[in-house]
Amino acid sequence: MNWADFKEFMTNFRTDRIMQQLEAWDVADLSSNPWFLGGFAAAILLAYFLGLRATSAFLVGIGGFALAVSWTVAQGVGTAGIESGGVYIIIGGGTVIVGLFIYLLFIKSE
């Protein structure tokens, strides 16, 4: 792989291309999809009650991040999304997710 190939590969990670891909995947509907929400809740509870604390914390982090991205994409992208609170959702959601992840993984003990 040379420098030109690397630069071509990195163009896939431009913000506009990432947002187009998220919209193509219809990520905005994840926050209202009962199968997604129920599936993650069941997986988290199953892992938690089986004593797999690290797995449960990992699932909380992944599911929470997916929901935060879903809510942010649903608010809209660009300056219109920022003005309607999209940034606050991703920052607040990320803070809650990281806090819950740290609590489940490090603080909660038996």
How far CA 66 is from CA of 2, 5, 109, in Å, comes to 34, 30, 27
pLDDT > 60? residue 48: yes
Pick from 77, 57, 64: which is nearest to 16 by CA? 77
Asked, for residue 14, whether it belongs to a domain, the answer is no
The predicted structure's pLDDT at residue 80: 58
- Which pTM does this prediction carry? 0.61
For the chain, the domain total comes to: 1
Tell me whether residue 79 is in a domain. yes
- 106 alpha-carbon distance from chain centroid: 21
Is 19 part of a structural domain of the chain? no
The C-alpha atoms of residue 16 and residue 77 are separated, in whole angstroms, by: 10
Structure confidence at residue 79 (pLDDT): 52
Q: Can you give the residue range of the structural domain that contains 66?
A: 26-107
Express each pLDDT in 57-76 by its tens digit. 888 888 888 887 777 777 66
Residue 17 within a domain: no
pLDDT of amino acid 42: 93
